[in-house]
């Protein structure tokens, strides 16, 4: 069980606990995620790095999901093969997310979680506020 899994389990036991919520989302924003990629040329999940790879976005019932895994092993297990992944910290993933996007975290595991657009928007605002506060602290204008 990863630290993120444990934090999610703790939060699920008491979803209204502000400290558990803060701990989980802080850890999420600071975790590096493995994001499977899609090769536009071959029109398939990318097996290796090329110039044509993009983050894989799955469409299910007209809902768009970007998959995030907290380990390469989990991404490989999901794909049932070696795949190419982008590796990005959670705060960067949140910042680049489009408004309609959902995140599927650790899909196929007992610790999977779906992030809905409202939740991602809330995280995006938290990242923005943190950056602004840090700029003010450093004396830089936002």
Domains of the chain and CATH, by start: 32-128 (3.40.1350)
The pTM of the full predicted model, rounded to 2 decimals, is 0.88
| Angstrom distance (rounded) from CA 2 to CA 57 | 24
| Angstrom distance (rounded) from CA 26 to CA 12 | 16
10-residue stretch averages of pLDDT, the chain, 142 residues long: 95 95 96 94 82 88 96 96 95 95 96 96 92 73 56
């Amino acid at each position: 069980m990863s630290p993120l899994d444990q934090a999610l389990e703790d939060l699920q036991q008491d979803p209204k606990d502000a400290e558990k919520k803060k701990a989980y989302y802080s850890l999420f924003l600071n975790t590096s995620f493995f994001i499977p990629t899609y090769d536009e040329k071959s029109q398939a999940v990318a097996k290796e790095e090329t110039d044509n790879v993009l983050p894989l976005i799955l469409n299910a019932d007209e809902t768009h999901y970007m998959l995030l895994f907290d380990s390469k092993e989990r991404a490989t297990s999901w794909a049932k093969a070696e795949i190419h992944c982008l590796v990005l910290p959670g705060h960067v993933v949140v910042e680049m997310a489009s408004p309609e996007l959902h995140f599927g975290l650790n899909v196929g595991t007992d610790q999977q979680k779906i992030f809905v657009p409202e939740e991602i928007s809330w995280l995006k605002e938290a990242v923005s506020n943190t950056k602004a506060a840090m700029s003010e602290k450093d004396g830089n204008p936002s």
